[in-house]
Structure 1
Amino acid sequence: MRILLPPFLSLLLLNATASAQSPDPRSTWLAANAAPLRTVEWSDEDDADLASIGRAIGSRRIVLLGEQTHGDGTTFEAKARLIRYLHKRLGFDLLVFESGFYDCRRVWDDVLAGPSLPDVADGCLFQLWSNSAQVRPLLEYVDRVKRSARPLELAGFDFQPSGRNGRRLFEDLDLFLQTQSDSAALLRDLAAARGVYGLLYTGAARFREVPDSARRDARQAIDRLRARSLHDRPAQGRLGEAAFWGQTLGGVRALGEFLWGLDPNAPTAAVANQRDSVMADNLFWLATRHPSRRIVVWGATSHLVRNRQAIENDAAPRMIPAGHRLAQALPGQTYTIGFLAAEGAFGMARIGTAVPRQEIPPPESGSLDALWRDSGQRFAFLDLRALPSGGEWLLQPIVARPMGYGATRAIWPNHVDGFIFTRRMAPSTPVRTTSP
Structure 2
Amino acid sequence: MHIHKAALASLALAAATAAPACAAAPWPVATVQAEQEDDSDLQSFADAIGKARIVALGEQTHGAREEYLLKTRLLKFLHQKMGFDVLLLESGFYDIARLAERVERGEKLDDIAPGNVFFMYANSAEGRGMLRYVDQQRALGRPMALGGIDSQHTGALSKAELLTRLQAYLHTTAPALANGAAWRQYARTAQPLLEMQRTPPSSAEQAAFRQHAAALKDALCASGPAKPPEPQGAAFWCQTVKSVDAQAASYWSADHDYQRDNQMGDNAIWLADRLYPGRKVVIWAHTVHVARGFQRTPAHLQAGEVMHRHWGQDYKVVQFSGAGGEILDFATMSKLPLPAIAPDSLEAALAAKAGGANAVLGLAGADAAGARPQFSYEYGTHSGARLGVNWDVLFFIRNITPVSMSR
The question of a shared fold, defined as TM-score above 0.5 by the shorter chain, is answered with: yes
Alignment TM-score, normalising by the size of structure 2: 0.83
**Is the aligned partner of 1:401 residue 2:376?**
yes
Q: 1:337 to 1:195 in 2, by over 3 A?
A: same
Q: Contact conserved, 2:177 with 2:216, CA < 8 A, in 1?
A: no
Given candidates 301, 311, 321, the residue that maps to 2:287 is 301
Compute the displacement of 1:175 (Å).
Answer: 2.9
Gaps of 5+ in 1: 1-28, 232-236, 310-315
| Maintained 8 Å contact 1:106/1:239 | no
- Within 5 Å, give how 1:88-103 maps onto structure 2: 88-103=80-95
Alignment partner of 1:107 out of 81, 99, 107: 99
Which amino acid is 1:204 matched to?
Q
Give the counterpart of 1:383 among 363, 377, 381. Answer: 363
Are 1:151 and 2:143 counterparts?
yes
Measured after TM superposition, the shift of residue 239 of structure 1 is 5.6
| Residue identity in the other structure for 2:57 | L
2:323 alignment counterpart: 342
What is the deviation of 1:349?
Answer: 6.2
Structure 2 CA distance for partners of 1:95 and 1:190, relative to 1, 3 Å: farther
User: Contact 1:130/1:136 (CA < 8 Å) preserved in 2?
Assistant: yes
Instruction: State the secondary structure of the residue aligned to 2:301.
Output: coil
**Distance across 2 between alignment mates of 1:218 and 1:362:** 48
Higher relative contact order structure (alpha carbons within 8 Å, sequence separation ≥ 6):
2
* Conserved? CA contact 2:56–2:318, under 8 Å: yes
Task: Tell me the alpha carbon deviations over residues 166-190 of structure 1, each in whole angstroms, 9 at most, x when there is no partner.
Answer: 212112213323333x535534454
Aligned to 1:191: 184
Deviation at 1:83, TM superposition (A): 0.5
* Cα shift at 1:73: 1.4
The whole-number CA distance in structure 2 between the counterparts of 1:238 and 1:141 is 27
What's 1:284 paired with? 269
Q: Aligned pair 1:70/2:62, yes or no?
A: yes
CA contact (8 A) 1:63 1:295 kept: yes
Shift of residue 243 of structure 1?
A: 0.5
Partner of 2:397: 422
Query: d(CA) in 2 for partners of 1:70 and 1:410?
Result: 19
CA contact (8 A) 2:154 2:196 kept: no
Aligned partner of 1:257: which letter?
A: A
Structure 2, gaps ≥5 residues long: 1-22, 224-228
3-state SS of paired residue (2:56): strand
**348, 352, 356: which one aligns with 1:374:** 352
Among 143, 159, 169, the residue aligned to 2:162: 169
CA contact (8 A) 2:56 2:317 kept: yes
Going from structure 1 to structure 2, the CA distance change for 1:190 and 1:295 (only over 3 Å counts) comes to farther
Residues 204, 372 of structure 1: CA spacing in aligned structure 2 closer, same or farther, 3 A cutoff? Answer: same
1:253 partner SS: helix
Bigger radius of gyration = 1
Return the letter of the residue paired with 2:167.
Answer: D
Cα separation, 2, equivalents of 1:65 and 1:184: 43
Letter in 2 for 1:428: V
Query: Aligned pair in 2 of structure 1 residues 44, 349: CA closer, same or farther (>3 Å)?
Result: farther
Query: Quick one: which amino acid aligns to residue 340 of structure 2?
Result: P
Of 245, 249, 253, which residue of structure 2 is paired with 1:253?
245
Alpha-carbon distance in 2 for matches of 1:220, 1:409 = 40
Change (3 A) 1:202 1:277: closer
Counterpart of 2:217?
226
Equivalenced residues, count: 373
2: CA distance between counterparts of 1:59 and 1:133? 32
1:44 to partner: Cα distance: 2.8
User: SS at the partner of 2:273?
Assistant: helix
8 A contact 1:131–1:349 mirrored in 2: no
1: CA distance, partners of 2:297 / 2:176: 48
Residue 17 (structure 1) aligns with: none
- Residue equivalent to 2:11: none
Cα distance 1:326–1:366, how it changes in 2: closer, same or farther (>3 A)?
A: same
The alpha carbon displacement at 1:306 in A equals 2.1
Between the aligned residues of both structures, percent identity stands at: 30
Pairwise CA distance, 1:404: 4.2
Matched-pair contact (CA < 8 Å) for 2:329–2:336:
no
In 1, the alpha carbon distance for the partners of 2:137 and 2:297 equals 41
What are the superposed Cα offsets for residues 257-300 of structure 1, whole Å, 9 maximum, x if unpaired? 221111xxxx54xx23x221111111121222122111111111
Q: Cα offset for 1:393? A: 4.3
> 3-state SS of the aligned residue for 1:382?
strand
- Name the CA distance, whole Å, in 1 between partners of 2:375 and 2:200: 42
Cα deviation per residue 1:214-251 (whole Å; 9 max; x = unaligned)? 222222222212212689xxxxx976322010111011
1:210 to 2:201 alignment? yes
Q: Note closer, same or farther for the CA distance 1:409–1:202 as it changes in structure 2 (3 Å cut).
A: closer
Distance, in Å, in 1 between the alignment partners of 2:383 and 2:218 is: 44
Rounded Cα–Cα distance in structure 2 between residues aligned with 1:383 and 1:407: 21
1:67/1:338 contact within 8 Å kept: yes
CA distance, structure 2, for counterparts of residue 88 and residue 200 of structure 1: 39
Does the Cα contact within 8 Å between 1:107 and 1:123 map onto a contact in 2?
A: no
Give the secondary structure class of the aligned counterpart of 1:93: strand
Task: Provide the TM-score with structure 1 as the length reference.
Answer: 0.78
Instruction: Please say which of residues 85-94 and 147-156 is displaced more in the overlay.
Output: 147-156
The RMSD of aligned alpha carbons is 2.7
